[in-house]
């Protein structure tokens, strides 16, 4: 299943993902939220690690901790008994780029730019 990112009837940003990547959707909804700047921060960290300038990077958001290394991106839930989700950095990058594109599109709509 391809990820689907959208704004719901209440105006909240939502992520519909496959069952095995549900934690990715929750991470985007609760930790990245509507922040293009946060997308850019994580994308920049992925670039720094891919270039070998740093071995690891970590952020703790509202509900999850994200751990990055050259080979993996691990999303750890901050509460509950859900297992960690391990993705490739490329998978996380793609999801962040799609999320960011949705945020930019919604921002343009609010400004009346099509």
Q: How far from the centroid of its chain's Cα atoms is residue 36's Cα? A: 10
Q: What is the pTM of this model?
A: 0.92
Q: In whole angstroms, give the CA distance from residue 68 to residue 74.
A: 6
- Name the residue ranges covered by the structural domains of the chain: 4-111
Question: Maximum distance among all alpha carbons in the chain?
Answer: 43
Query: Quick one: which of 49, 50, 29 has its CA closest to 38?
Result: 29
* pLDDT tier at 110, thresholds 50, 70, 90: confident
Which band of pLDDT confidence, cut at 50, 70 and 90, is reported for residue 113?
Answer: low
Tens of pLDDT along 20-75?
Answer: 999 999 999 999 999 999 999 999 999 999 999 999 999 999 999 999 999 999 99
């Amino acid at each position: 299943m391809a990820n689907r990112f959208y704004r719901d009837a209440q105006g909240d940003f939502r992520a519909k993902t496959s069952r095995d990547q549900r934690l990715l959707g929750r991470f985007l909804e609760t930790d990245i939220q509507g922040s293009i700047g946060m997308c850019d921060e994580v994308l920049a960290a992925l670039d720094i690690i891919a270039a070998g300038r740093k071995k690891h990077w970590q952020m703790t958001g509202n509900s999850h901790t994200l751990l990055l290394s050259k080979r993996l991106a691990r999303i750890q839930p901050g509460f509950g008994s859900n297992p960690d989700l391990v993705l490739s950095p490329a998978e996380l990058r793609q999801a962040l780029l799609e999320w960011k594109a949705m945020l930019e599109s919604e921002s343009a709509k609010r400004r009346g730019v099509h």
